[in-house]
Homo-oligomer: A and B are copies of this chain.
């Protein structure tokens, strides 16, 4: 038997090498991709998260049940009026600025309600899921708790988490982690995206494109605020989502997308003297 030992050792060596190689191949395959569902937009793959995969779908279907079709009623303006309306709307919106100094003065709740109805009540959404919750915080105690959470996380962000690049960017911005407007603004609007919903049988219901939908609603909200003469600053509190969600008693399928402090500007509000891109830098005609 002993003459077999070297052969055995050789065979075993080959076996070991083979096992290693095949394990490496498995690893490679895993690395190359969590198998994405075949219907994920290939161009978006690099920017697509696993959840997004579930959401990708072409046209935004408007309804989930068989609903009847009705004639669409259209308000048409003469061409000259269209030009005037579109110019005036642009003139209105170009006055909008992100304002970080917000007065303590109260704002009429009827106006806030109309603004939220305009945004969340009329925005389009994937499969007409309306995947949003707008939490309006007026209670000073809750506002202050929100401020505490955000400033605590902010300080950690600034001190530890941020890359050098980010800190450099921010230093130039003269902002820091003190967010006084969270106390002074009479209203904070926290916009949550519902990453999924629930069907009648309790199972998860896909919310196609929920982030895009909720951001579009947010764009309409910014227009509505500007139209009413109120100011805000678009913020996305980093790392605060879970704590704010718990504080406001929102379910786990809701994730904070943006927080908007809303009110009148402070008496001596300042804004950066920035310029915006010209039309030929943002629009291409074919």
Contact = CB atoms under 8 A, between A and B. Distances in A.
Nearest to A75: B229
Contacts of A139: 286
Interface residues of A, number: 164
A120 B175 CA distance: 25
Nearest to A31: B30
A223 B227 CA distance: 11
Contact of A49 (B49, B90, B117, B233): B49
A264 B215 CA distance: 26
Q: Is the interface of A mostly helix, strand, loop or mixed?
A: mixed
Contacts of A113: 279, 283
Contacts of A286: 135-139, 142, 248
B283 A120 contact: yes
Contacts of A123: 219, 222
A7 B202 CA distance: 58
Interface in A106-128: 108, 110-111, 113-124, 127-128
Interface in A42-77: 42-44, 46-52, 56-77
Given A4-B5, A49-B48, A59-B235, A241 B43 contact: yes
27 contacts: A30-B30, A43-B242, A43-B245, A46-B50, A57-B236, A63-B172, A63-B272, A67-B274, A69-B270, A75-B95, A82-B229, A83-B108, A85-B227, A86-B111, A90-B115, A98-B124, A116-B282, A119-B219, A130-B277, A134-B282, A135-B285, A136-B286, A142-B286, A209-B236, A216-B219, A220-B223, A248-B286
B229 A121 contact: no
A183 B73 CA distance: 23
A234 B219 contact: no
A39 B238 contact: yes
A249 to B, nearest CB: 9
A230 B110 CA distance: 28
A20, A123, A231, A233: most-surrounded residue (chain B CB, <10 A): A123
A268 interface: yes
Nearest to A247: B286
A147 to B, nearest CB: 13
Nearest to A125: B234
> Which 7 A/B pairs are nearest by Cβ-Cβ distance?
A219-B219, A43-B241, A215-B215, A23-B23, A39-B161, A86-B114, A2-B2
